[in-house]
Amino acid sequence: MARIAPLSGFPEWLPDGRVVEQHVLDTLRRTFELHGFAGIETRAVEPLEQLLRKGETSKEVYVLRRLQAEPEEAERGSEKQLGLHFDLTVPFARYVLENAGRLAFPFKRYQIQKVWRGERPQDGRFREFVQADVDVVGAGELPYHYEVELPLVMAQALGSLAEIGLPPVRVLVNNRKVAEGFYRGVGLDDVEGVLRQVDKLDKIGPDAVAQLLVDEQGATPEQAEACLELAAISGSDLAVIDRVRELATSYGAVTELLETGLAELAALVEAAAERAPGVVVADLKIARGLDYYTGSVYETVLVGHEQLGSICSGGRYDTLASDGKNTYPGVGLSIGVSRLVSRLLSAGLVRATRGVPTAVLVAVVTEEDRAASDAVATALRARGIPADVAPRAAKFGKQIQFADRRGIPFVWFPGVVGDDGVRGADQVKDIRSGDQVDADATTWAPPAEDLWPRVVPAGE
309 or 386, CB closer to a second copy? 386
Q: Contacts with a second copy in 30-89 (CB under 8 A)?
A: 33-45, 47-48, 50, 53, 58-69, 82-84
Strands 82-84, 45-47: parallel, antiparallel or unpaired by DSSP? antiparallel
Q: Is 292 annotated as a binding residue?
A: yes
Least spacing, CB of residue 343 vs a second copy, in Å? 18
24 or 286, CB closer to a second copy? 24
Least spacing, CB of residue 381 vs a second copy, in Å? 4
Q: Is 122 annotated as a binding residue?
A: no
Burial of 306 (0-12, 13-18, 19+ CB in 10 A): exposed
User: Which letter does DSSP use for residue 358 in this model?
Assistant: -
Distance CA 247, CA 267 (A): 20
Distance CA 63, CA 273 (A): 45
Q: Is 110 annotated as a binding residue?
A: no
Looking at 4, 303, 422, 448, which residue binds a second copy (CB under 8 A)? 4
106 binds a second copy, rule: CB under 8 A: yes
Alpha-carbon dihedral angle through residues 375, 377, 378, 380, given to the nearest 10 degrees: 120
Instruction: Kindly indicate which of the ranges 209-217, 232-240, 354-362, 423-431 contains the residues binding a second copy, using the contact rule CB under 8 A.
Output: 354-362
Least spacing, CB of residue 260 vs a second copy, in Å? 17
175 or 358, CB closer to a second copy? 358
Q: Contacts with a second copy in 400-419 (CB under 8 A)?
A: 402, 405-406
How open is the CA angle 256-259-264, to the nearest 5 degrees?
130
448 binds a second copy, rule: CB under 8 A: no
454 binds a second copy, rule: CB under 8 A: no
For residue 449, how many other CB atoms are within 10 A of its CB?
10
Residues in Cβ contact with 454 at an 8 Å cutoff, skipping those fewer than 6 apart: 23, 352, 353
145 binds a second copy, rule: CB under 8 A: yes
Q: Contacts with a second copy in 239-298 (CB under 8 A)?
A: 271, 274-275
Q: What does residue 128 show for φ and ψ, rounded to 5 degrees? A: -130, 125
Backbone torsion region of residue 38, taken as left when φ is above 0, otherwise alpha when ψ lies between -120 and 50, otherwise beta: beta
Looking at 121, 124, 128, 394, which residue binds a second copy (CB under 8 A)? 128
384 binds a second copy, rule: CB under 8 A: yes
22 binds a second copy, rule: CB under 8 A: yes
189 or 323, CB closer to a second copy? 323
- 172, β-bridge pairs: 281, 299
- Which helix (DSSP H) or strand (DSSP E) does residue 379 occupy? helix 370-382
Distance CA 226, CA 458 (A): 46
Q: Is 284 annotated as a binding residue?
A: no
For residue 306, the SS3 value is helix
Binding residues for a second copy, rule CB under 8 A, total 97
Q: Is 298 annotated as a binding residue?
A: no
Instruction: Kindly indicate which of the ranges 3-11, 158-166, 197-205, 340-348 contains the residues binding a second copy, using the contact rule CB under 8 A.
Output: 3-11
Q: Is 243 annotated as a binding residue?
A: no
Q: Is 288 annotated as a binding residue?
A: yes
* CA 204 to chain CA mean position, Å: 29
Look at residues 334, 324, 322 and name the one whose alpha carbon lies nearest to residue 139: 322
Looking at 229, 299, 388, 426, which residue binds a second copy (CB under 8 A)? 388
449 binds a second copy, rule: CB under 8 A: no
- 234, β-bridge pairs: 283
Looking at 20, 27, 85, 109, which residue binds a second copy (CB under 8 A)? 109
Which DSSP string corresponds to 323-351? -SS-EEEEEEEEEEHHHHHHHHHHTT-EE
Q: Is 339 annotated as a binding residue?
A: no
Q: What does residue 81 show for φ and ψ, rounded to 5 degrees? A: -75, 150
387 binds a second copy, rule: CB under 8 A: yes
Residues 276, 281, 287, 291, CA torsion sign: positive
48 or 253, CB closer to a second copy? 48
Q: Specify binding-site residues.
A: 87-89, 117, 131, 135, 288, 292-293
Q: Specify binding-site residues for L-histidine.
A: 87-89, 117, 131, 135, 288, 292-293
